[in-house]
Amino acid sequence: MQALIDAYDGVLFDLDGVIYLGPVAVPGAPPALAALRERQVQVGFVTNNAARTPAAVAEHLTELGIPAGAADVVTSAQAGAQVLARDLPRGAKVLAVGGEGVRQALAEVGLTSVATADDEPVAVLQGYGVELTWQHLIEASVAIHRGARWVATNDDPTRPTDRGLVPGNGAAVAAVRLAVSVDPEVAGKPYRPLLDETVARLGAHRPLFVGDRLDTDIRGAVNAGLDGLLVLTGSHGPADLLTAAPGSRPTHLGYDVGALLVPALDVEISGETARCGPATARVDGGSLVIDADTPGTLDGRVAATWAAAHLAWQAQDAGRPLDLGAALPALVVPAA
């Protein structure tokens, strides 16, 4: 039996919502990662969360039963620091806004972190940090007004946790943007620097990216020329998938990362009917419906979601979006 992963020589994993939800592992992620490593698949962990250092992220992964080292992790803070280091002289002052992950990333590339605009930084690197205060945002705004180059590690508006969605770095970036007249350069997903750095580090020729968000993970994979697997354990669900724009549509769908170890879901479309495994979706009078004999199991619902997505995308691209209301109740994937 050929598994989805057999078509690829490496996997890049987003973390929040894919591998873990805050302090807890997504159920099934540790054994799936162990199985991938038994197959000698190259694995890299990619995160837009710039708060923690790669070593801290690797330690957390190891605690969750997924052995990892700092070299296995690439953060958006590292990608942002690399963007600046390409153009700035060694030792240049950069206002570090965020957590320790931002400061360490700057140090790794030979740039000097400062904490106030009065230190005359030539750039601002803004990332997520739980200790972020309004004063940090004020300092960033002042520095940018004075001409400092502005790089944001990422602009995710939210991030998933074990307690639900909470504001992400994009919320803080938006606050600064309201006070200045320029947009930031963004290093993390969906922009290429973060994924390009990770692919280069893995040395993979045909890697797959696995994420839980369409707007950052899957769009980032598309931007970087990678195939993408969307999993339904984090931020985005069936309703988001069915309305995804062309540049944010995944190559594959799975409930969780265990989807890598089983055959890929295939969809057959005939006119306005789509079949995926045990599931059938069809268009009926401008509405998307799921056939009643589609199994209500987890596998059946995921298959139905994938079949429905292809019909919804086909209609959207033809300029006649479907009424999704009748289909959505059959596509809601239960929590693990």
The model's pLDDT over 46-82, given as tens digits with 9 standing for 90+, comes to 998 898 899 999 999 999 999 999 999 999 999 999 9
Q: Reduce the secondary structure of 27-48 to three states and give it as a string.
A: CCHHHHHHHHHHCCCEEEEEEC
- What is the overall mean pLDDT for the chain? 94
The burial of 42, by beta-carbon neighbours within 10 Å (0-12 exposed, 13-18 middle, 19 or more buried), is given as middle
Extract the residue ranges of the chain whose pLDDT is less than 70. 334-336
CA distance to 120, 129, 136, per residue, from 142 (Å)? 10, 19, 10
Query: Does residue 16 carry a catalytic annotation?
Result: yes
Residue type, position 317, single letter:
D
Any idea which fold 4-48+191-261 has? Rossmann fold (3.40.50)
The burial of 191, by beta-carbon neighbours within 10 Å (0-12 exposed, 13-18 middle, 19 or more buried), is given as buried
Active-site option among 14, 212, 217, 256: 14
The model's pLDDT over 201-215, given as tens digits with 9 standing for 90+, comes to 888 999 999 999 999
Q: CB atoms < 10 A from the CB of 293, how many?
A: 9
Output b/e per residue, 12-36; b: 16+ Cβ within 10 A: bbbbbbbbbbeeebbebbbebbebb
Any idea which fold 87-186 has? Rossmann fold (3.40.50)
pLDDT score of 164 = 83
Q: Where are the domains of the chain?
A: 4-48+191-261, 87-186, 268-331
Active-site option among 6, 16, 227, 293: 16
pLDDT score of 335 = 56
pLDDT score of 98 = 94
Global pTM exceeds 0.95: no
Asked whether 123 and 155 are in contact (CB, 8 A), the reply is no
Half-sphere exposure in the Cβ direction for 162 (13 Å, CA): 9
- 4-48+191-261 and 87-186 in the same fold: yes
